[in-house]
Structure 1
């Protein structure tokens, strides 16, 4: 039977009323010095946080589950709950319990979800924490990515494939969309994201327009270049609505939107981002391109580098602008080192300034903000004499905000506390009343000594002392021996075994004065700090511009450092279609080589006239896949504005990189390896352009041999003859039959990765050479992997039989012949029955190997050899 409201305790009535407003969140309910959770929230908290689950009374004959933790541990436990995928509502006491009779007023002060996190423990320095919103329009889909911790808001719209690629690249911590679109979202993008649904009315054009214009205080959105992106508007407004819905009303640091235009960036679908291992490795703790390129020294630089990696440029002028700066930094090494030092000391300026309107910045962080502005001053000075046009622009963009910098340094102490309420954050000399109160508080001991000395002399009590306790404050203590000397005006407060304790009107007046001073000091410091934060809000935009300029500088310094350390060279970007790489190296594999081992570099030439398609064959483990990937990575790095791991590289402007590498089942989607392979390949075939680079590795391997060869063959012919685009293509395969294509099609060329056979071993030379290879050496690889010798020998027998058959001969007939022939078994020489072998066996059985010297062993071997003759 349900318990009536009147039977619940007043505290539980209050809790349940607040919980009803946040039914899908874990409610952390502040009670005194603890955050408590009740009922189902307590069960979740106990499980996720590893804290004790107990029960407590709730009115007559009823109990509720309970789990709690100290309030000062909030950051730690909040982090764990959100990382476990829970929405958390933090409910605080809104009144001072000392001044209230009965139940203290409480309310939710913050809602934290995976996509709405501003706490440092919930954030990674090198990664954004994006909240995404998706809106499915009639023709196009809109998307927005908002990071409340930095104030960045990106918007885009397009077909679902484009939106899918953006979701893969931005990797949002949470995605929101309208409730009626839940099934459509799941069918389109799968279960890869943490999602939350909102009411449908939020995703309307009129509401979006009103929300965005109010947020940015503008009359239109033309200034952001997004006025024609209705679906993107709706998605952007939904993110702002969600922030306010989760108790984040102060969003002054979100000052604009940045448009992501598909035509501005080199396109890579999500398969390519995954296959090239740009952000994540396929093996645990494996190296990634981001991991080997990232030598940035600031968190904002690290975040920007990740964005540059998944959104390479397609404008040659902008690419060369970056390359010019990298070249400049390589020449000016002293300047580069100095800039890096200042950037490192600036810290995370972007996230610091975003804490100001959120009222989450503390005095220590305000002082760090001042130090960062000092670094801006120093960087401006360093760049003042530069002759590089791009760096001149950055110099002009930097603003050290001297007025607010001076005010921070004048008002905040050198080593302020983290909490302003602890006191000691505001300098002396800032406020006269604060100085006076501090004087009263600090002179307390001296004043107490004066009272003690004065009363001792007046009463003739030499052992008189002044002390303090929490029961009745300051008091005078007199031993029993001098009790008769106590004046009548003193008021006795406590009798002890050997003494009496008294108070006087003067002592009481002082107590009120000093206690009031400490409270007034803290209140005044809080007031002065809040006034400073209010002034700081006027500087949010210029400080954000500083952070963006410094992040770009950090990335370009990172490219220069890599070029110097790893001998990268400047690529030449052209309007043509040729891809010509001399002595190219794989940037990730090269970095993972053992010390002293050099990477075997290779040349690659692709164009639309002579060598459009390379059919690449060679042994297993010889480096075919590495060569394919390094070609794509070098192209990608060049479009980022980075120098590349090659002796030289002439790269025709590329608009899309497609890769189909490896094979993996999509079990959750009910798709086989072959179906996944065909889906990804179809996406490539349907989206290629004349400027595309296509990387295909082992197409057709997921089905039967003849089906696979037929599909691979037809794909090559399609790319050569059946599309006018003639995309540059690298095709690695084990189907050596595809080498025949070179004789039938003028722009198809065969290459192979060289190897050398030494006895029964294969040495991979990892060098590219013209012509096709006829062997995969798969059986040699099986032997290297530790397969049993008998199994390896049988595999060689089967291979020999198959190689005797022409490709056009029925495969089943050849298999039947092999199966009907019994497997040959290796016999021991001692299983033979000749007298000679018996004699050899007898001699060996009588040899004591442990006592045999090397010379005696050689003599014995020679003796056996003579017997065999």
Structure 2
């Protein structure tokens, strides 16, 4: 029969019963210990030795794995970043004064979505906890809460088509954890987990709409939520209330820095679904290789963490209102035109701390001394920032400046209280400046003078006894002692009282040393306790300033983004777009903002002209690798950038506001749900055809290629006809295809135009010129691309033979009328090209010296010459 658990283990089992799904870190002395299955997880995930001690409830050896308490944060962060929930069970009373076993209790629950410690946050980006609550009519309320900054907003999404709208929100905001009601079904949680989001089930009563409403009003100090835009959205309110409750319970805090809520609805922003965000690589690479190939990486040259988060929020939610877009563009243009002010601001912000997250840690109560010091230094720069801007700066710049306070009271308080170079943590002591508290100064002097006394006492005893190796030491068990080695024991005076025998000698004490020891120990303990008390009170005082610090941080983020967009525009030759409430998209010399940065040669710019009521659909043909996909993505990114408020990579751009960008690009499958590449293509296409409006921009690349040629061509043709026939105006569409039969549509559908990418055919090789020109092509040059990819020459030679045989059979029926208008640029080395006389004369003309009638007459004459007519 085994003995029952020890008192400490009874505490452990009690805490573990409350959090069975979490890894429990149980404080025992200088270590956090984990037991049983938790120990196995910790040993495996953290590469820590797994041992065993004592017996568990079943009498088996108890697995054990521990980490030092002073280094626990790093270990916890690694576990949480792997999706684990960690519970901290700490000693909640001083072991020195405890009677019997030290009392322990859960002090914090750390989950992937509720991180607040700077050491655990993997990046400066937003760190959202997502809550999902069922709403009426198969819709779901969504809430997103960043506990580290206090950012809090709600949205909603339909459960249709495998939760596509919710998936889009997940891709847009990338939550690190999601919570759902305990009684929720398994389908949506499984979908979220397939996207890499850990899902935690939370008690149903937290999602009750009425209770959530009251909880939110209590948090914000209001009687209604009408001012937050979520009236009539019970599901969103339920999700928000649950998110707040979950965060408060895990943090064991009221989280006073969460002081408001916003509502984000699709009607206010351009809709970018998960597919479009992926295909256009807005914030994440399409193949998951880092972030260097994204639009975000191309534009984010911000200097602060707040600016980086704001930049990302801009890119995933472009604006729809012309006035709002123009206001942002005005701010960017001001920084573009004022290079000196722009550089001065960026230099000032270069050392700016993440004040938004520091404010969150102040509210939570775990801000460290270095947090306060960096906050002080950052806020001291605010007056310098404000002096950079004249009174005629644009509205958005002045709005940001008005939201910024100089926080003189905060900087003064921290400056008086905290030393210039404080320790990282408060438990290390030494962070309170001398002169801030008289009692602390007195204890500090006493402790310091006591140590000086010990040093003097050691020297005096050496001289008095003649023992040159005598030294005064200290340990926790015996306190201060006099140590004498064995060869010198005969010199020990009779008044020395022996306290301990060691391997090398003896340890002694005397009354004077004992008396001073008591005084020093008391002073140091009181010093440590008083300094911690003063620091805690200082942080508590700063809580009242959190809302103002957060407002300033957000304003700094906005100025950072405006200046960063201007910096990018100046570096890479972007221009301000003209924004219209029309169906036009006109781009001159447009470029891809990401691709052009990675090419070893200059990017070849291209023009685009779309109009939902005129040139609605561009059918784009051309060789493989000619640049069709890059061109179409560049058009879409220019539209998105313009509506974000950014300049665009083009010589000129007129952008008629786009309500939504749809893309179907590339071949992807979803094997996890049993869907083939072609099925995924058709599902994405169905979403486009069912939801695109005349205000949308549609990018379609190789529709129908996932099935047989005949079926695919039929689907592709029907799609073009459907998009064209929706109304007198339809979605602006770029349609790249290798189904060359589709080019006939230009003659039957009035808003369809053919374009192709030119090539230079030398007869033996093909050069891709990357230039889009009117007309169509009948060749894809697939064999040439295969050769460039490294396909064995034997294979490509045979493929060319088969291609020639097929072409011969196709044309064996006699001559046929040409169907295509591709301009093949032949190598001049094969055939001399004579310049048309009309071209020669045109080069010599000076239009500035001609009257309008002379110009018209000359134009008519040159046209006759170009057509081979004789001059009259």
Normalised TM-score (structure 2): 0.87
The CA deviation at 1:644 is 0.5
Aligned partners of 1:404, 1:728: CA distance in 2, in Å?
54
Distance 1:500 1:371, change over 3 A: closer
> Alpha carbons of 1:493 and 1:263: their partners in 2 closer, same or farther (altered >3 Å)?
closer
Task: Please give the alpha-carbon distance, in whole angstroms, between the structure 1 residues aligned to 2:74 and 2:200.
Answer: 24
Q: Hey, what's the Cα distance between the residues in 1 that align with 2:399 and 2:136?
A: 42
| 1:581 counterpart SS class | strand
Superposition deviation, residue 107 in structure 1: 1.6
CA shift for structure 1 position 10: 3.0
Match of residue 705, structure 1, among 705, 709, 716: 709
Q: Distance in 2 between matches of 1:679 and 1:789?
A: 38
Superposition pairs of residues 113-512 of structure 1, within 5 angstroms: 113-139=111-137, 140-160=139-159, 161-186=164-189, 191-192=194-195, 193-283=197-287, 284-285=289-290, 287-383=293-389, 385-447=391-453, 467-470=472-475, 472-474=478-480, 501-504=508-511, 506-512=512-518
Cα–Cα, structure 1 residues 61 and 327, in superposed 2: closer, same or farther, change >3 Å?
Answer: closer
Farther off after superposition, 196-205 or 521-530 = 196-205
Give the alignment partner of residue 30 of structure 1, picking from 20, 27, 52.
Answer: 27
Q: Distance in 1 between matches of 2:321 and 2:701?
A: 29
The answer to whether the 8 Å contact 2:498/2:506 transfers is no
Contact 2:583–2:613 (Cα < 8 Å) also in 1: no
Task: Say whether the 8 Å CA contact 2:192–2:199 is kept in structure 1.
Answer: no
Deviation readout 1:312-337 (Å, 9 max, x if unpaired): 11111111111111111122111111
CA distance in 2, matches of 1:702, 1:453: 90
**Partner secondary structure for residue 611 of structure 1:** coil
Q: 1:528 aligns with which of 534, 539, 550?
A: 534
CA distance in 2, matches of 1:198, 1:413: 44
Structure 2 partner of 1:617: 621
Task: Tell me how far apart the structure 2 counterparts of residues 500 and 351 of structure 1 sit (CA, whole Å).
Answer: 52
Q: CA deviation at 1:523?
A: 0.9
5+ unaligned residues in a row in structure 1: which ranges?
Answer: 810-869
Q: Is the 8 A contact 1:91 1:109 kept in 2?
A: yes
The 3 A distance-change label for structure 1 pair 642 and 499 is: closer
Alignment of 1:464-613 (within 5 A): 467-470=472-475, 472-474=478-480, 501-504=508-511, 506-594=512-600, 597-613=601-617
Measured after TM superposition, the shift of residue 296 of structure 1 is 0.8
1:669–1:473: structure 2 CA closer, same or farther, 3 Å change rule?
closer
Q: Secondary structure at the match of 1:196?
A: strand
Equivalent residue of 2:194, what SS?
coil
The aligned counterpart of 2:848 is none
Distance 2:519 2:755 in 1: 92
Separation in structure 1 between the aligned mates of residue 462 and residue 614 of structure 2, nearest angstrom: 110
**For the pair shown, which has the larger CA radius of gyration, 1 or 2?**
1
Q: 2:116·2:360 contact (CA, 8 Å) conserved in 1? A: no
| Counterpart pick for 2:66 among 50, 59, 68 | 68
- Looking at structure 1, the residues matched to 36 and 506 of structure 2 have their Cα atoms a distance apart, in angstroms, of 54
Deviation at 1:108, TM superposition (A): 1.7
Q: Distance in 2 between matches of 1:221 and 1:335?
A: 41
Which residue of structure 2 lines up, in the alignment, with residue 761 of structure 1? 765
Deviation at 1:370? 0.5
* Offset at residue 474 of structure 1 (A): 4.5
Q: C-alpha offsets along residues 492-538 of structure 1, whole Å, 9 cap, x if unaligned?
A: 7579999994522x543332222111111111111111111111000
Offset of residue 409 of structure 1: 0.1
SS of 1:36's equivalent?
strand
Q: SS state of the match for residue 383, structure 1?
A: coil
**1:180-220, Cα deviation, whole Å (9 max, x unpaired):** 32334247767323211122222211111121011111111
1:7-48 deviation line (CA, Å, top 9, x unaligned): 233333222221111101111112211221111111111111
Deviations 1:129-165 (CA, angstroms, capped at 9, x unpaired): 1110111212232100001111100111243443332
Name the Cα RMSD after superposition: 2.7
Partner SS, residue 764 of structure 1: strand
Q: CA deviation at 1:116?
A: 1.5
Q: Which ranges in structure 2 are unaligned for 5 or more consecutive residues?
A: 814-872
Partner in structure 2 of residue 847 of structure 1: none
Contact 1:108–1:247 at 8 Å: present in 2 too? no
| 8 Å contact kept, 2:759–2:767 | yes
TM-score of the superposed pair, with normalisation by structure 1: 0.87
Measured in 1, the distance between the counterparts of 2:456 and 2:706 equals 94
What is the CA-CA distance between 1:796 and the residue it aligns to?
2.8
Aligned length: 798
Shift of 1:250: 3.2
The equivalent residue for 1:859 is none
1:257 shift after superposition: 0.6
Residue 91 of structure 1 pairs with residue 95 of structure 2: no
Cα 1:64–1:190 shift into 2, 3 Å: closer
Query: Structure 1 pair 480/753, CA: closer, same or farther in 2 (3 Å)?
Result: closer
Secondary structure at the aligned position of 2:350 is classed as helix
Residue 708 of structure 1: CA displacement? 0.6
